[in-house]
């Protein structure tokens, strides 16, 4: 079985994910390289600041009168973005720079924690002479910190944009599919209408013109049966896109109706195990019989195809607290686990003939028009499959 569209869509999604990851990885690598170079430059600036400060400490009192400290002061004052703490040998704060509105005297507790953190994560620069010993601690600038976080922010932003793009694309695609479904269904119902009207007229003519020909009348009766079936199909297609009218129906009676229909048309080597309505209290759900019957018929038809003329079809009803669960099982060839979701996608089919729309229509009818769910409950290749329909229960 070929599934080119599904395969192509999966491959494109995988390619887009790989491209996005490459873009993010490249951005992070480039930013980290820039940050590393800036850190080296910042270390040089701190070292220069340190040297300027140390040079002033090293000058003796006699030399002080003849030294020009304008360059040193200019270097020290030029630091406007690197947070610096200068302490004595006992780690008591002497001066702080670039800690925004923090004050060394008023915010002693804050700076004590800051010094404890810096002592743990870096080795301070030491300014000392024969008498004085000071320590210089510094943090990286806000610019470098921002650059370090930038690629991760970029990654998060890219993720949000991808999610928004995906949901927008999905919504537009679903809306487009909705229009295609409705248009196709309406057109199918319209196209069936003309030949149906003609066939009904021919059947009436046969009954009027040949009232004594039993063989011809029998053929006309069989034709009428098929015409009524085609009318039912056309009516179902015409309901797609419109809001169907729901009515309370007993689940057991509905299943028994389908049992009577399918049992007459199935191989004698196929057995059926359906609940007997006379042995169960009525269990009511709101459904549109015309559309819901289409769902059950599709599941039973698929079960018959999977059995290939031999096996068992079973129906079970489970009375939940808020939902009614209808399980339809067969002992056929089963479905691979990887296909549990894809079986409901348009175009999926294991048969050489057919459009692969049956289960897709079932899902649409159950979920869109009956506020329920339909899914593969379990399946084992070579042993069989169980589909579950879940409908809100009428209390």
What CATH number corresponds to the domain at position 335? Answer: 3.30.565.10
* Same domain membership, residue 128 and residue 21: yes
- Listed in sequence order, the residues at least 6 apart from 381 whose beta carbon sits closer than 8 Å to its beta carbon are 333, 334, 335, 336
pLDDT tens for each residue of 85-104: 888 888 888 888 888 778 77
Flag whether pLDDT at 205 surpasses 80: yes
* Same domain membership, residue 164 and residue 49: no
* Token pair listed for 45: 């600036």
Residue 275 structural domain: 247-392
* Same domain membership, residue 132 and residue 11: yes
Q: How far apart are CA 274 and CA 312, in angstroms?
A: 11
pLDDT tens for each residue of 244-297: 789 999 999 999 999 988 888 888 899 999 999 999 999 999 998 888 998 999
pLDDT tens for each residue of 342-394: 888 776 666 655 555 678 888 988 998 899 999 999 999 999 999 999 999 88
The total domain count for the chain is 3
* Same domain membership, residue 101 and residue 41: yes
pLDDT tens for each residue of 127-165: 776 777 888 888 877 777 777 777 777 778 777 877 887
Number of other CB atoms surrounding residue 228 within 10 Å:
12
pTM of the model: 0.51
* Same domain membership, residue 255 and residue 135: no
* Same domain membership, residue 254 and residue 385: yes
* Token pair listed for 252: 């057991």
> Residue 2: its pLDDT value, please?
46
pLDDT tens for each residue of 32-48: 787 778 777 777 777 77
Length of the chain: 395
pLDDT tens for each residue of 319-346: 988 899 999 999 999 998 888 888 887 7
């Amino acid at each position: 079985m070929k599934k080119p569209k599904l395969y192509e869509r999966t491959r494109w999604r995988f390619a887009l994910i790989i491209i996005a990851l490459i873009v993010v990885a490249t951005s992070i690598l480039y930013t980290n390289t820039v940050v590393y170079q800036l850190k080296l430059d910042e270390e040089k600036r701190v070292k220069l600041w340190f040297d300027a400060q140390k040079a002033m400490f090293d000058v003796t009192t006699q030399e002080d009168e003849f030294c020009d400290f304008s360059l040193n002061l200019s270097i020290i004052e030029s630091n406007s973005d690197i947070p610096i703490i200068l302490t004595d040998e006992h780690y008591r704060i002497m001066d702080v720079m670039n800690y925004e509105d923090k004050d060394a005297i008023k915010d002693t507790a804050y700076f004590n924690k800051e010094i404890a953190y810096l002592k743990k994560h870096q080795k301070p620069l030491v300014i000392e002479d024969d008498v004085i010993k000071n320590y210089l601690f510094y943090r990286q600038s806000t610019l470098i910190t921002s650059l370090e976080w930038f690629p991760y922010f970029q990654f998060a932003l890219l993720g949000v944009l991808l999610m928004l793009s995906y949901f927008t694309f999905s919504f537009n695609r679903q809306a487009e599919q909705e229009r295609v479904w409705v248009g196709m269904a309406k057109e199918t119902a319209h196209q069936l209408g003309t030949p149906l009207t003609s066939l009904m007229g021919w059947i009436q003519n046969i009954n009027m013109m040949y009232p004594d020909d039993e063989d011809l009348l029998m053929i006309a009766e069989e034709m009428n049966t098929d015409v009524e079936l085609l009318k039912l199909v056309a009516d179902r297609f015409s309901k797609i896109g419109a809001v169907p009218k729901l009515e309370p129906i007993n689940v057991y009676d509905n299943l028994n109706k389908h049992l009577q229909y399918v049992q007459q048309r199935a191989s004698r080597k196929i057995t059926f195990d359906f609940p007997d309505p006379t042995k169960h209290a009525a269990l009511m759900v709101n459904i549109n019989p015309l559309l819901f019957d289409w769902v059950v018929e599709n599941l039973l038809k698929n079960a018959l195809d999977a059995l290939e003329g031999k096996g068992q079809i079973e129906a079970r009803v489970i009375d939940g607290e808020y939902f009614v669960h209808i399980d339809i099982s067969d002992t056929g060839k089963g479905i691979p686990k990887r296909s549990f979701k894809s079986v409901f996608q348009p175009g999926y089919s294991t048969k050489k003939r057919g459009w692969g729309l049956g289960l897709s229509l079932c899902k649409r009818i159950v979920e869109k028009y009956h506020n329920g769910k339909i899914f593969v409950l379990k399946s084992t290749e070579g042993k069989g499959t169980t589909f579950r329909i879940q409908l809100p229960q009428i209390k």
